[in-house]
Structure 1
Amino acid sequence: MNASSVIRGGTVVEASWSGPADVLIRNGKIAALLEPGAVVADPTVQTIDAVGKLVLPGGVDPHCHVGFTSGEFTSLDSYAECTTAAVCGGTTTIVDFAIPRPGQRPLDAAIAQRAKAVEGLCDSALHGCVVEWDDTTADQLKTMADNGIRTVKMFTTYAGESMADAHTILRTMQTTRDLGGMVIIHCESDAIVVDAQTRAAGAAGIDAAHMACTRPEIAEAAAVAEILAIAESQHAPVYFVHQSTAEAVELVADARKRGLVAFTESVTHHLVLDDRAYTGEEPERFVCCPPLRSAEAVEALGEHLFTGHITTIGSDHCCYDLGQKQSHRHDVRAMPNGLPGVETRLPVIFSRYVNDRGLSASRFVQLSATNPARTNGLYPRKGSLMPGADADIAIWDPQTRWTVGVDQLHMATDYTPYEGMELKGRPTTVLVGGHVVVDHGELVDATPRGRHIEANPLDFREMAIGCIPMA
């Protein structure tokens, strides 16, 4: 069988199985998975040695903000910079957001952001965003869906900037449902958040050290309950981003038991870091929304990686630097919220949950690649190593030990919230479309091969079945 390259000797890990296999690649696609040693050596075929390593589908990060403007701040990375960091961390597809600025149409924001995809080292997809409904919104959403943008983000907080009211959320749910798409929701009750911030400002303080009390857990649970009710009334699918508490996750799981198509995303920092970070010398390094929770809440949330109640793991990557974070260190209402994480998403979760806590490698693949591809209409082109899929592959050394340091990362910032964390396991070789872009942990090919990948109409029955844990 002709092939342009072959990965030999590794253990292939899919969402539903794993085992020894050689991977044949032809014309940027997976051509076949074969018994080890079945391919006769051919000097014209590139051979990649994966003995002792895991061969995984490249990660799909469902939650990245690239060059994102919020208030007075814009995150610092371009598509080239974000995707460089992504591939070095084992991620080969990102899903970005086109969040309109005040007065900008959702369609125009999407067109502008989509055009940047060609700058990337890997492929990308896109979430749209609706803030306010008007008589043109339905047609804009149809045009976006016709161009492969089928997921639409909405916020229940940030009044006056990106917050959508309940009427807008309901109408957007109706429209995206009928277009084979889905609304994805940032859930925090704005009224509860504003009240908590006001009380904090008049008491303990509104600085970064008090971030945890300014956006309490109950704000998340209250908004999730309201959005689930709207979705159930419309028989509309819904996806919740960065859920940070077990209570919020369980609300969604209970709705699934009632027959609603609903999905939970958690993110790396909520699964690993806790609110003790706000007691350090630079608490602004950890200001994100929702905030980091207590150690007990982190433990309870992490358990749902094993129960299956969490569908995907994203990064919620926002590449601000310390100067931006510190410019309003005494008032988190003005500080840019968000943490850099596209490069560290997979290594941190692999170390803390696969190596330390026994999460199966197949479940790791499901959470970090296959389910994000499914819920964004990209599967099986992405998130799989089955024949016909794009040859986006991350070869992992599960045993290598290393210490996270900003000096060895590639994100366009001067800090990482995981500075000094000791990890076990990381990707050593990464392929994008069959091309080796990372080798022995070093970036070796910075060619921009990025494409905007159009999402297929979402098959909600297949998604609901396919996202059930198999391992």
Structure 2
Amino acid sequence: MRADLVVRGGTVVTDGWSGPVDVVVADGRVAALVEPGSVRAADEVDASGRVVVPGGVDPHCHVGFTSGDFTSLDDHRQCTTAAVAGGTTTIVDFAIPRPGQAPADVAALQRAKAPEGLCDSALHASVVEWDGTTAEQLRQLADEGLRTVKMFTTYRGETMADEDTFLRVMKTLGPLGGMVIAHCEANHLIEEQQAEQAAAGRISAAHHHETRPELAEDASVAQVLAIAESLGTPVYFVHQSTPTAVDLVATARRQGVRAHSEAVAHHLTLDDGVYGGAHPERFVCCPPLRPAATVRELGTRLVSGAIDTVGSDHCCYDTAQKTTIDSDVRLMPNGLPGVETRLVVVQDAFVRTGLLSWERFVEVTAAAPARLNGIYPRKGSLLPGSDADIAVWDPAAARTITTAGLHMATDYTPYEGREVRGWPTTVLVGGHVVVDGSQVVDDTARGRHLPAAPLRW
């Protein structure tokens, strides 16, 4: 058997299976899973005592994202450097048009940036409003391998789409093997709450969690589910932060609706107590962080299987941007940097504690994100034929998360000082060792854009 490299001595976890096998790599792909020690190669990675998993697939990254007057600070090279350092070897970015921009044009510009990355990337398109060209643009995007389309029910005048646009986009995407990716918060409820908070002088970053109630998310999810059910088309809900929202999706799925729930690491591991701290502006995100009891209940949905995927919702703003207008959360940039910390904090909170198995961890952080973005089994798997994107974890590695020890293009992490156990010590991208000893040792740009296959259920 030809072998360029062998990852030997570890416990391999992939696609609902785990066991003590070696991973044989040839031509940038997984060639075979074999008995330990049965194949040798000139290059070997010693994974003794380690857990060997597919590189993570982050289904929710905003790279160089412009919202209002602010643009996040990282490019594809910086974002993917941070990603691979944290064990993620594929990111899914967004091409979100500004007012007046055509979705297909924005997607082409964002897709062209993929070769700058240290790892591969896929892409979600986005539609804000429907016009006479939108249907043809969606067909063109599908032909080019862009089948997931982000839509928002909030941010009036920026990215918010109305119900008619949701319906038209869903109806068009269904036959194309596509799916709407929905950010759900009922805008009218948010605007009413924000107006009341502003009148009471409570609209600063310290009160952000009071301006976007859980009801707004739950009501919007129910509304979009109704459209999906009426059309028989799939829908994927990003960054669900309330147990009720997840339960609505789970109930709809049991009734035959092709609906999926994503949670993000910060909603699973942080709570709204941080808004009472020294830097509340650093934690302004939408939806906001929820009360500790809500966070615990959301975690039970991850454990039960109701949540399909875990993303980061990575938005790389820095403190200076966050403090520019921190007196009014309606105007300040929202989003948290998290592409590098997604896997380590979720592994520490759920796998190390015994709440999730390694198999389930791989499912929600790699395999399911790949499937729901039309790039499986090329990504999210270690079965023969898959890309040799591999993360070797030391479950006993104890580290304290600090900004100085990370690679994201910002001056803070929401997990500053958090102690975790378990870290990816070696990471391969396409069979090349890019991280070794938890250090980036190869910063060659090898990124490729990944076209999505039609999504079928």
Decide: shared fold, TM above 0.5. Answer: yes
| Corresponding position: 1:5 with 2:2 | no
1:92-131 correspondence runs (5 A)? 92-131=89-128
Mapped pair 1:30 → 2:22: no
State the alpha-carbon separation in 2 of the partners of residues 111 and 400 from structure 1.
Answer: 41
Does residue 61 of the first structure (1) align with residue 50 of the second (2)? no
- Alignment-derived partner of residue 404 in structure 2: 407
Looking at structure 2, the residues matched to 204 and 421 of structure 1 have their Cα atoms a distance apart, in angstroms, of 33
Which amino acid letter does the alignment assign opposite residue 107 of structure 1?
A
One-letter amino acid of the structure 1 residue matched with residue 450 of structure 2: I
Say which of 232, 252, 255 aligns to 1:235: 232
1:426-437 mapped onto 2 (5 Å cutoff)? 426-437=423-434
CA contact (8 A) 2:121 2:447 kept: yes
The count of residues paired between Structure 1 and Structure 2 equals 457
**CA drift at 1:306:** 1.2
Matched, 1:218 2:215: yes
1:279 aligns with 2:276: yes
Partner of 1:269: 266
- The structure 2 residue matched to 1:377, chosen from 362, 374, 378, is 374
Partner of 2:345: 348
- Aligned to 1:448, the other structure's residue is in SS state coil
RMSD across aligned positions (CA): 0.6
Name which of structure 1's ranges 24-33 and 349-358 shifts more when overlaid on structure 2.
Answer: 349-358
Measure, in 2, the Cα distance between the counterparts of 1:358 and 1:290.
Answer: 25
| AA matched with 1:410 | H
1:176 to partner: Cα distance: 0.9
Question: Counterparts of 2:374 and 2:319 in 1: how far apart (Å)?
Answer: 35
Task: Say if 2:306 is the partner of 1:309.
Answer: yes
Matched with 2:19 is 19
Matches of 2:237 and 2:398, distance apart in 1:
33
Q: Deviations over 1:59-97 (max 9, x none)?
A: 000000000000000000000000000000000000000
Aligned-partner Cα distance in 2 for 1:290–1:356: 26
The residue type equivalent to 2:271 in the other structure is: D
2:292 is matched with which residue? 295
| 1:379 maps to amino acid | Y
Amino acid corresponding to residue 418 of structure 1 in structure 2: Y
Distance in 1 (CA, whole Å) between partners of 2:99 and 2:252 is: 34
- The alpha carbon displacement at 1:2 in A equals 1.1
Segments of structure 1 that go 5 or more residues without pairing to the other structure are 461-471
- The aligned amino acid for 1:221 is D
Amino acid of the structure 2 residue aligned with 1:304: R
Take 1:124 and 1:171, find their aligned partners in 2: how far apart are those partners? 27
Q: Does 1:171 align with 2:185?
A: no
Deviates more, 1:397-406 or 1:348-357: 348-357
Residue aligned with 1:431, SS? strand
Query: Which residue identity does 2:21 align to in structure 1?
Result: A
State the match for 1:338 in structure 2.
335
Contact between 1:124 and 1:452, CA under 8 Å: does it hold in 2? yes
- Report the counterpart of residue 452 of structure 1 in structure 2: 449
Query: Is the contact made by 1:15 and 1:363 (CA closer than 8 Å) also made in structure 2?
Result: no
Aligned-pair CA distance for 1:204: 4.7
- What whole-Å deviation, never above 9, does each CA across 1:399-455 have from its counterpart, x for those lacking one? 110000000100000000000000000100000000000001000000000000000
Is the Cα contact below 8 Å between 2:303 and 2:355 reproduced in 1? no
Within the candidate set 381, 385, 390, 1:393 is matched to 390
1:15 Cα deviation after fit: 3.2
Letter in 2 for 1:9: G
Letter in 1 for 2:147: R
1:326 aligns with 2:323: yes
After superposition, the C-alpha distances for 1:19-49 in whole angstroms (9 at most, x for unaligned) are 100000000000000111112x45xx21110
Higher mean displacement: 203-212 or 243-252: 203-212
